[in-house]
Chain A
Amino acid sequence: MNQLVKQGFSPVVSHRKKDGSAWTVKEKIFLGLTPGDYFSEQFRNPFNWILAVIYAVGLPIIIGRFIYGLGWVTHSSYDYPWGLFLGFGLFTMVPLSASGFMMGTTVELFGRSDFKPIERLGLLNGLLGYLFAVVFLQVDLGQPWRLIYPMFVSLGPAAVLFLVAWHVATYLSCQIAELVPAFAEWMGLPRAKKFIKSIVLGLTIAGIILSTLHQGALGGLFTYAPGKIHPLWYSSPFQWFHFLCSAIFAGLSMLIVVSTLCKWFMRWRCDENFLNSLDRLTLGIAKGAALALITYLAIKLIAVAHDNEWQYIFTGWGQWFLLEITIGVIVPLILFTMAIRNDSADLARLGAFIAVLGIVLNRLNTALIAFNWNLYQDIPHWREVVICITVYSTYIVVYRAILARMPILYTWKE
């Protein structure tokens, strides 16, 4: 696409063609190209070939999971009931999607309208991350068709997962509502946009409440397992705050990573407004992430002190813990600080990339690696890994399809 744009093609940015006639929905879906041009363009894209290979292997395995059961794709471990689907899919995707409520808060609540060009990307990153966390959950649940049971059939309101279920469901609706304006502009539904605008403050505050609680609740889920999780990754009083606070820099870092990828690979879809302000906004987001990182580092160490776990620091697990803290917290913190001081957005991008990897490591440590630390290590089944890659690829495909069409990276011209 980048090449097509260089040759003078301009994708849909308003309801009217150059000659003044209206775009049809079908034409909008094809970005203003003819179907033939569109598909040959997709065909040329090497990334689509990689996706094709992933689907060729992954789709049959996903189908097999529902025909032969979880036992076919996992080790059916009774000791490790949660594997990669939740360890990666739920516990990592959700914090990396905290950008939605962070950007909503920044722009709508704190009135920082200078962050507007990246607000919608933050919201979309939030929505899709949650959506696919639910997809991962559906792959993992023994009986996914009973997903609504905790809502309407048999309620266990004292359980942490009950809170997660309700909050993720409400927050998903909330995020869909927050993105209605983008959809409404694209489809030409001004009244829907106006309505959302009138309730945006309520939506934003609801987003903050729901995010605080379910990000925390994902940590709270692990407080059910004292003794199973290594003490350095377990803290009854602070677990929820560790998860919430790390979600803040995780979401912000993910936003920096995604915006960087957009800048590189979807430049044709970004408008001047987005591209010109991106470096400044990246540094602004890096500031927020740095604040969250230093808070997280402090409260992590306080948790170790609170439970007096210093003796573990000098064991093998302690080294692993320190490695996680160094890579996932201290290095990004230093990079962000240097980036802000030297006004270098690229340095912040590097920091964000490392912070995202750090979060993945932290959540996998809590859910899988340091879980059952005095039993044995369970290496996930290869089919489990393939399914994770396939679902994550679908996430990227949907993400890319929406970015290519709706006014997320560009401003709609009325």
Chain B
Amino acid sequence: MKKLNRRFFLKGGMAGTALLADTGLAKKASAADTFGGYPDSMGVLVDFTKCVGCRSCEAACNKEQGLPAPDKPFDYMSVFDERHKGQKRRTTEKAYTVVNRYNIKDREQGPVFRKFQCNHCNEPACLTSCFVNAYTKTKEGAVIYDPTVCVGCRTCMIACPFYVPAYSYSNPINPVIKKCIMCYDTRLKFGRPPACVEACPQEVMTFGKRKDLIKLGHNRIQKNPEKYIDHLYGEKEVGGTAWMYMSDVPFEELGFNTHLGEQPIISYVKEFLTIVPMVLTIWPALFTGFYLLANRKEAFKNEKPSGNE
């Protein structure tokens, strides 16, 4: 009986380990060093000093993405005073980009307007947290999303450090994540800038290769050191983002989170992912050992009579 038990256990244990090792290996592969982005990926540099808050980008986005008509027309400036639970407007299932107004004390030119949309991270938290692999970081730099596989767990919304993805809660049949895809299907894929960039009358946004934009941004800061804050937000934040920002007021005053650090979000999860293969490989032997140890008295008992024979 005893031997039968052990043999059965080994069989079961091996099959189990093999099955699980599969998933463990995949995790290990993703636990490689920081990715840092595709070499020739595109990006957008946003200069808040130029933005006048006309909301043309919002209207262009709405049209390009075929989104439902907004609650208030795009030329209504009263939306800047809207507050939801004390928060300014954010991206929703009906708006992939929004502009918010920030009243800055003692700023001669008046308030600062901040455009907000998906930042298209180099190593997106949404992508790494998705258990059906719905997200893709394209070589052009966009973070796109496949709604046909989305289960609706909304972990990506938990993971996104910028609070970007929205969800169509109101749809009972086919609710999906809604977010900016940098106009990938209609424009970026063909080398054209996103609709919002093109629509801007103030040329707030510059579309180009991300690595060139970084140089451009730093040059601009160098030429006007007294004007700009010496920081390109998005150059290094959470592993770098395709959209980067320059401002003449400190970024935290524009509602930016300046405590995100330079590590991509996945690096915080790796500490857990590392233990997965260890548990899978060590536990079977360890606990079988405990079993043998705990039952040693019975093993002796069984052996004695046969030894006397």
Contact = CB atoms under 8 A, between A and B. Distances in A.
Interface of A: 66-71, 74, 76, 78-79, 81-82, 105, 109-111, 140-144, 146-147, 149-150, 153-166, 170, 198-199, 201-203, 205-206, 208-209, 212-213, 216-217, 219-228, 236-237, 239-240, 375-376, 378
Contacts of B27: 157-158, 163
Given A81-B154, A202-B16, A239-B272, A209 B132 contact: no
B199 interface: no
23 contacts: A71-B171, A78-B163, A81-B158, A141-B151, A142-B152, A143-B150, A143-B175, A146-B151, A147-B151, A156-B133, A158-B273, A160-B273, A163-B276, A198-B8, A201-B8, A202-B16, A209-B20, A213-B279, A221-B155, A223-B269, A224-B265, A228-B161, A236-B271
A303 to B, nearest CB: 12
Interface string B120-133: 00000100111111
Given A142-B154, A156-B130, 8 more contacts: A69-B172, A156-B133, A157-B26, A199-B9, A208-B283, A221-B155, A221-B158, A223-B271
Interface string B143-186: 00010011111110111010101110111111110000000000
Contacts of B226: none
Contact of A82 (B158, B174, B261, B271): B158
A108 B214 CA distance: 62
A81 B158 CA distance: 7
B273 A154 contact: no
Going nearest first, the 6 A-B pairs with the smallest beta carbon separation are A142-B152, A202-B12, A69-B172, A157-B26, A220-B272, A158-B30
Contacts of A198: 4-5, 8
Contact of B92 (A78, A158, A163): A78
B257 interface: yes
A239 B272 CA distance: 8
A202 B17 CA distance: 11
Contacts of A212: 279, 283
B23 A202 contact: no
Contacts of A156: 130-134
B284 A157 contact: no
B214 to A, nearest CB: 24
Contact of A142 (B30, B86, B167, B298): B167
B86 A376 contact: yes
Contacts of A140: 153
Given A111-B295, A209-B280, A159 B290 contact: no
B273 A205 contact: no
A378 B131 CA distance: 26
Contact of B298 (A105, A111, A209): A111
Contact of A227 (B6, B161, B175): B161
B25 to A, nearest CB: 9
Interface residues of B, number: 77
Contacts of B26: 157-158
Contacts of B271: 223, 236-237, 240
A68 B169 contact: no
Contacts of A239: 272
Given A146-B151, A199-B9, A228-B158, A159 B172 contact: no
Nearest to A64: B172
A1 to B, nearest CB: 39
A79 B15 CA distance: 42
A212 to B, nearest CB: 5
A159 B152 contact: no
Contact of A161 (B153, B170, B172, B176): B153
A140 B175 CA distance: 12
A66 B152 contact: no
B290 A82 contact: no
B87 A376 contact: yes
Contacts of B12: 199, 202-203, 206
B287 interface: yes
Given A78-B163, A111-B294, A226 B265 contact: yes
A320 B233 CA distance: 34
B175 A70 contact: yes
Contacts of B18: none
A142 B19 CA distance: 29
A195 to B, nearest CB: 9
A246 B28 CA distance: 26
Given A69-B171, A110-B290, A209-B279, A227 B272 contact: no
Contacts of B294: 109-111
Contacts of B130: 156, 159
B105 interface: no
A117 B86 CA distance: 55
B133 to A, nearest CB: 4
Contact of A160 (B16, B129, B163, B287): B129
